[in-house]
Structure 1
Amino acid sequence: MTIPKESILLVDDEEAIRCILTKGLSMRGYHCDEAEDGEQALAKLEVNPSDLVILDINMPGRPGSEVLPDITSRFPETAVVMASGVTDNMVIAQCIKDGAKDYIAKPFRFEQVLQSVNGALDKRRLELEIQRYFQEMGRKAGEQPLEPRKLFLGAIETLVNTLEAGDRYTNGHSHNVAEISLSIGRQMGLAPETLEDLRWAALLHDVGKIAVDPDILNKPAELTSSEYRHIMTHAVVGPSLVKPFVNNNVVEIISHHHDHYDGGGHNQTIRGKNIPLGARIVAVADAFQAMISDRPYRRAMSRHDALDELLWYSGSQFDPIVANVLINAVRQQQVQARMADNISQN
């Protein structure tokens, strides 16, 4: 039995580009349709929603970057890949934030297009599967109205445990990051409801890695720039997975947990205190927990060295106030541990 390929809508004002892509993708078994502008694309999607849209950013009339939010809001099960001959990192970053699964640059290499299409469709299939899982858990929780949040959190913890259980390097990582984040939040005097959002976000901050190639994720050597970009897609995939089931505060923390305080992070659009406080906390907790843990490409750092790293990058990668809270807390624990050892020896 032959499994039918997905449908793709190609949106570009240049007919030659549409024809080339249609021919190449059709030869790979995909069902292709074409639109010459955003309005025509939306009209076609209303009649026959596609699995994937390749959307040109720079078109006459409404640019693709303006059409994108309409597609993602009206057709949430349709994946979108943006395309452009002009590289504008701010526009690309905004498109990714608005729900685009990937970006390809013109002039195209067909292998690049095919890789992007396959990757975007893989993410779409995975997201739909996970959403169905969460919807089923939500339905079951609805049958027991006394503890729906507890049941839902249990489902999330099960998913995170499943993701991490097969990797000895990351087993328990998200739970540890959640505990560290909550410790920082409590010391900063955050309200209980804010701490609850922080817990959920920290627990789910890496859930998007379910869509990352495990060979790249566990590579025992330095990553190439393209491999690094691939891994960083988890900060986009994760929010899209959990958005239907958690509040916007949690989504924003997950979206920005790799942002650098000075604005120097990957495809970053905000900086400093404009980054949600929860994201700044998770960034510090995540980095510290990663540094004191073994990884395929290095041994774990000592806590002393990890604190030195936090201090060194305080103000650039990390919020200096948040970093200082964790540094002081860990040092105080170390002093208390030494005092306890001295007492036990006397």
Structure 2
Amino acid sequence: MKKREARSWKIIVPASTANLGAGFDSLGLALDLFLTVEAEESESWQVTPLTPELEAFPSDETHFIVEVAKGVAEGYGKRIKPCHLYVCSDIPLTRGLGSSAAAVVAGIELADVSCGLNLTTHEKLELAAKYEGHPDNVGASLYGGLVVSCQTEKGVKLLPLVQMPIEVVTVIPKSELKTSDSRNVLPEKVTFQESVTAGAVSNVLVAAFLMQDWELAGKMMKQDRYHQPYRKKLLPHYDAVEEVASRFGAFGVALSGAGPTIACFVEQEAGEWLLRQLQQSFPAMDVRKLTINTTGSQVEILERHQMKARPSSL
């Protein structure tokens, strides 16, 4: 019997910023930084990093993307064929830009295409939220654009808002901030009245985005009661970034996810000016202008000659 030719795929997953101030564990926005995985069926699992920052991760089947792919396949009664993965990423690690969420989505996409699961995007979301713990980052990476989501004991609900005419200038410190550390500063409980106020602020924030009332959106970001008042204390540069960004056109400023990146939101076409001002004011930090990704995660079937073009094709 003729041996079947090894199959190959290219998986591209966008970065994301979550919370957007008052939308704690609910709002996510996809950004144009990407995790790219080229997978080629092989005799055993092997992971080759094409980005220096990824060299710290395992190169065998204990790699997180592989563990997710195997776990998803097993959940559907399938056994995924081992692959050689070539992984590159321009998403900064442990900076609050959804690097772990992108890895989760990549693993799910690999299991789906390799095992022929034919999962819907919502089914992928349900799986991703179980791995990540909340749907905001993974939802944005899967759907693209702005997502509004909630997770209850009955599952995940999400609405995508793909068209969002804004840009995001991110101020990324050199130092890491682990999500666990950022979570530990949050209170275990809030009063009923405080939770009512926090929920109302979040509701108005979503409505402001829907109406494209950017000034109101910025005000609601600043009035968050869920996490920013506690996490800002871990970031001595936050107030300075907020002051400069607001002075030079940002309608809103918020922690990106759990931090330490600060996301500055600006209307389209105004991002370049804000970028230059923040670069001049914070030369020790990595300042980037990002646009909104509207496609979400993508999977492409590769031919043999395309795989041979590595790594320059990445």
TM range (shorter): under 0.3
The one of the two structures with greater contact order (alpha-carbon pairs below 8 A, sep at least 6) is: 2
Q: Answer with 1 or 2: which has the greater Rg.
A: 1
Greater strand share, structure number: 2
Given the two structures, how large is their TM-score scaled by the length of structure 2?
A: 0.28
Per residue, is there more helix in 1 or in 2?
Answer: 1
